[in-house]
Amino acid sequence: MSAPLPLATDHPGQVAPAAPPAPGRSRRLSDRGLAAAFISPALLLLLAMSVFPLLWALYLSFTDYSATRGGPAHFVGFGNYTAILASAQVHQRALTTLIYVVGAVGLQTVLGFTIAYLISRRTHGRGLLTTLFLVPMMLSPVVVGLFWRFMLDAQFGVINSMLGSLGLGQVEWLTRQRTALISLIVVDTWQWTPFIMLIALAGLTAVPKYLYEAASIDRASEWFRFRTITLPLVWPLLLIAVLFRAIEAFRLFDLVYILTNGGPGVSTETLSFHVYKVAFLGFNTGTASAYGILMVLVVIVLTQLYLRYLNKLKED
């Protein structure tokens, strides 16, 4: 690049006098200026809409401010934080969230990878199959939540109707403590299995064919091939997908809101849902902010993990 440059810079001078004023001084300046001019509006919007609100929440988390009561906010130090960390209610929500995240993401990973593996072994109709399997993922959580609520209805829901015709008993899916959480996991699994499937499929189709051919020449067993070729090569990408889903599942709010509204009792209240209740039904803005900041910390840790793996994947 460096050699032809001096030759070429005098080129426009001779041939294209109509070209805009000499680059020389202004070019280097404009490169930096251009970068700043192009990047700063985007960063400003993010600062205003993401960073500033979080800083405000951070400030509020040290006060007893309430959005409805109004009035000045009193500084309470770490009071909100200690109250939340010591609260048995919060512990219970954390457990519910943990069960939900592990259950849903685990199921999705197993199912999604299985489907991807089965599709990758087909030679015909791959495109069509993939497209069909992807439909649930593209739907809004509102649509998904509403529709499953209808299907899981104890009286006229189609799921119970099918169970009935199979001679099985009726299940009160959304109105019993244990089944409600299971229903939530099932619905989330239904919606997001395609996500894992899509990423796993991308990984599976990227495995070089010659590895399998070499292995089959050596008469390696199917399981051996899967264990030593497929899994190691797909694993890094799969891990990215799993972490991504874990973050999303941890933040989950809309599906709970639509499907069970946290009930029955508090059996399906996730941390997100609890924050909402504290903030918008209890109007303890200060406490809710501290609660939210703690959630953000967890998300930041998970995101760092995710970005680190992503970085590793990109460098390979």
Partner 1 sequence: MAVSVDEAVSAGPVRDHTPPARRRGGRGRSVLEVALLAVLAVVMLFPVLWMIQTSIKENRDVYAIPAKFFDFQVTMDHFKDVFVASGGGRSALSVSFLNSVVVAGASTVLATVLGVPAAWAYSRFAVKAKKDQLFFILSTRFMPPVVVVIPIFLMYRQVGLIDTKLGLILIYAAYNLPFTIWMMKGFVDEVPAEYEDAAMLDGYTRLQAFRRFTLPLLVPGIAATAVFALIFSWNEFVFAIFLTSSDDVRTAPPAIAGLIGGTTVDWGLVAAASVVFALPVLVFAYLVRKHLVAGVTLGAVRR
CB of 301 to partner 1, least distance (A): 11
Q: Which is nearer to partner 1, 81 or 147 (CB)?
A: 147
| Distance (Å, whole) CA 108 – CA 197 | 8
Q: Which of 66, 92, 161, 179 binds partner 1 (CB under 8 A)?
A: 161
Which has the closest alpha carbon to 184: 89, 258, 94? 258
Of 25-54, which residues contact partner 1 (CB under 8 A)? 26-27, 30-32, 34-35, 38-39, 41-43, 45-46, 48-54
Q: Which is nearer to partner 1, 87 or 117 (CB)?
A: 117
Of 91-120, which residues contact partner 1 (CB under 8 A)? 111, 114-115, 118-119
Of 279-308, which residues contact partner 1 (CB under 8 A)? 279-280, 285, 288-289, 292-293, 295-296, 299-300, 302-303, 307
- How many chain residues touch partner 1 (CB under 8 A)? 120
Q: Which of 91, 214, 231, 235 binds partner 1 (CB under 8 A)?
A: 214
Which has the closest alpha carbon to 149: 265, 257, 258, 264? 258
CB of 194 to partner 1, least distance (A): 7
Contact pattern from residue 174 through residue 213 relative to partner 1, giving x for each residue in contact according to CB under 8 A and a dash for the rest: ----------------x--xxx--xx--x---x----x--
| Distance (Å, whole) CA 249 – CA 17 | 61
Q: Which of 84, 101, 184, 237 binds partner 1 (CB under 8 A)?
A: 237
CB of 132 to partner 1, least distance (A): 6
CB of 37 to partner 1, least distance (A): 8
Q: Which is nearer to partner 1, 77 or 165 (CB)?
A: 165
**Integer angstrom CA distances of residue 34 from 3, 29, 123, 170, 253:** 26, 8, 49, 66, 40
Of 250-269, which residues contact partner 1 (CB under 8 A)? 250-251, 253-254, 257-258
Report yes or no: 74 and 63 within 8 Å, Cβ to Cβ.
yes
Name the one range near partner 1 by CB under 8 A: 13-21, 71-79, 102-110, 175-183.
13-21
